[in-house]
Amino acid sequence: MAGNPVKSFSCPACGGIVEIHAVGHSISAVCAHCSTLIDTANNNFKIIKKAHEGSRHTDIEIGAKGVLDGVKWEVIGYVEKKDKSSLSFWEEYLLFNPYFGFRFLIQSEGHWNFASIIKRYSPLAGSASELELDGENYSVYCRGISIVEYVKGEFYWRVRKGDEERYVDYIAPPRMLSVERSKQEVTLSLSEYIQPDEVAKAFGVELPDKTGVAANQPAPFAGTLGKIWKVTGLSILAALLIQWNSGEGINVNNSRIHIAQGEAEKTFSTPVFSLPNRTNLFVNSLVPVSNNWMELDLSLVNEMTNEVYRSRQVIEYYHGYEGGESWSEGGQLAESAFSAVPAGDYRLVIDPSPGQLGPNGMDVSLEIKRNIRVWGNFWFIFLFIIVFPVFALLYRWNFESRRWENSDYAPAVFRMGESDE
């Protein structure tokens, strides 16, 4: 890396060459040959701790260079840590650029964060359930004690295997605010979730697949779910207004036919009426049956093409008095609907089949209307509009429940069903 002087010395334990890249910053380094921890701030390169184990392979090796956030970084240190109680592991890569200083790449279960140390301190950091930073609220996600399991490379602080720190992680996806307390100091770092593909591309390496949902992983539809529901609400309102403005229908014909005794087989017809455009058509029939019934076979006939649309109505009404109470069933009204009838001239042919005809016969009143408001259409459109927003909401809820399943501080909505034991 241009402009980055490298200092080298011989390891006091094995004699191998140890290189220091963050000259003037690093105060400890691990020999790449024998894993001895060396005090680089001491001119005699004093051994802090002798080799505890051989060098491990890491996904990104010491010395690797990559561009993140428009800056070229070099990996100079690596620390593996675990949580003392849950035994979960994570990795921290120390990055260095001579002009921009230090950053961290943190990996856990295939998820990556790009982090930097922030020079701020709040007396509530670590104890509060929420923190505010730059106008953004962070909620506590986890608390614990971290233990250093493995170290290699160089560092601007003294770090060795077995070091412990208390930590608290606060999240406001895609960011995480971490508070770490050692015996010597309190450190605050701000992380931002970074896609594994971006890390792999930056350093030219292959990385393991991610598993589960990370604490600060961006949620699907993040920042858009509210907009989706706003558009959905406006769409439903528009559909409702269109449906409402479709009106109560336009009357095209009113007819009354009289079925005299002995005319049960007679066919009746309404006058011709016109439909100016494709429309629905409703036929309402009123037949004053009483303890009787009537069937009407309806044929809507196009005068030009003789195309026929058929429907049948059954009208029956029975009533009486029994056991000291009145009862009734059925009714004297019936309705038939013809959908998407083309424009043209039509007449309605009626073939009645009465139950019993008295000496006065029976009257049938017919009302024919077009352009009737049909709510079934609205509900179909409503369901069509609502499917994706509901899917997005459920998917988001499932994602968030997976995010919080490993936290002891999950919001109440994600703790439903948990045992109180």
The label of the residue with tokens 């000496």 reads: 359
310 & 191 share domain:
no
- Tell me, what's the pLDDT at 338? 94
Instruction: Tell me which of 171, 203, 235 is where a domain ends.
Output: 203
**Residue 395 lies in domain:** 225-243+376-414
Whether residues 256 and 141 fall in one domain: no
Task: Check residue 388 and give left, alpha or beta (phi > 0: left; psi -120 to 50: alpha).
Answer: alpha
pLDDT in tens, 309-341: 999 999 999 999 988 899 999 999 999 999 999
Write down the residue that tokens 């008095």 correspond to. 321
Centre a 10 Å sphere on the Cβ of residue 375 and count the other Cβ atoms it contains.
10
Given this model, what pLDDT does residue 51 score? Answer: 61
185 assigned to some structural domain: yes
pLDDT of residue 356: 87
**Structure token digits, residue 65:** 């260079």
- The whole-angstrom separation of Cα 48 and Cα 41 is 11
Do 57 and 181 lie in one domain? The reply is yes
SS3 content of the chain, % helix, strand, coil (to 5): 15, 45, 40
Number of domains in the chain: 3
103 within 8 A of 116, measured Cβ to Cβ: yes
The backbone torsions φ and ψ at residue 268, rounded to the nearest 5 degrees and listed phi first, read: -120, 160
Tell me which amino acid residue 114 is. F
Question: Is there a single domain that holds both residue 40 and residue 101?
Answer: yes
Q: Are residues 398 and 332 in the same domain?
A: no
pLDDT at 359: 86
CB of 191 closer than 8 Å to CB of 176: yes
- 22: in domain: yes
Q: What is the DSSP letter of 412?
A: G
Let me know: does 286 contact 296? Beta carbons within 8 Å.
no
Instruction: Please tell me whether residues 384 and 317 are part of one structural domain.
Output: no
- If the chain, 421 residues long, is cut into consecutive pieces of 10 residues, what is the mean pLDDT of each piece? 68 73 76 74 68 76 95 96 90 96 96 93 72 91 94 90 94 95 89 97 95 94 85 89 75 93 87 93 95 96 96 96 91 94 96 89 94 79 92 92 91 66 43
182 shares its domain with 55: yes
Provide the 10 A C-beta neighbour count for residue 75.
21
CA dist 166 and 248 (Å) reads 71
Asked whether residue 208 is domain-assigned, the answer is no
- Same domain? For 157 and 59 the reply is yes
pLDDT one-digit tens code per residue, 231-281: 999 999 988 887 777 666 889 999 999 999 888 789 999 999 999 999 999
In single-letter form, the type of residue at position 236 comes to I
Which pLDDT score is estimated for 115?
Answer: 97
Residue 57 lies in a domain: yes
Report the CATH number that the domain containing residue 359 is assigned in CATH.
Answer: 2.60.120.380
Residues 238 and 351 in one domain: no
> Among all chains, which residue has been given the structure tokens 């029994």?
322
In a domain, 212, yes or no: no
- Position 1 in a domain: no
Strands 279-286 and 362-370: antiparallel
268 and 137 within one domain: no
Residue 114 inside a domain? The answer is yes
Nearest CA to 84 out of 151, 142, 141 is that of: 142
If asked whether residues 348 and 258 sit together in one domain, one would say yes
Asked if residue 210 belongs to a domain, the reply is: no
The greatest distance separating any two alpha carbons of the chain, rounded to the nearest whole angstrom, comes to 129
- Inter-axis angle of helices 375-404 and 225-245, to 10 degrees? 170
Q: Mark whether 80 and 196 lie in a shared domain.
A: yes
85 secondary structure, DSSP code: T
Collapsing DSSP states into helix, strand and coil, what is residue 260?
coil
- By three-state DSSP, how is residue 98 classified? coil
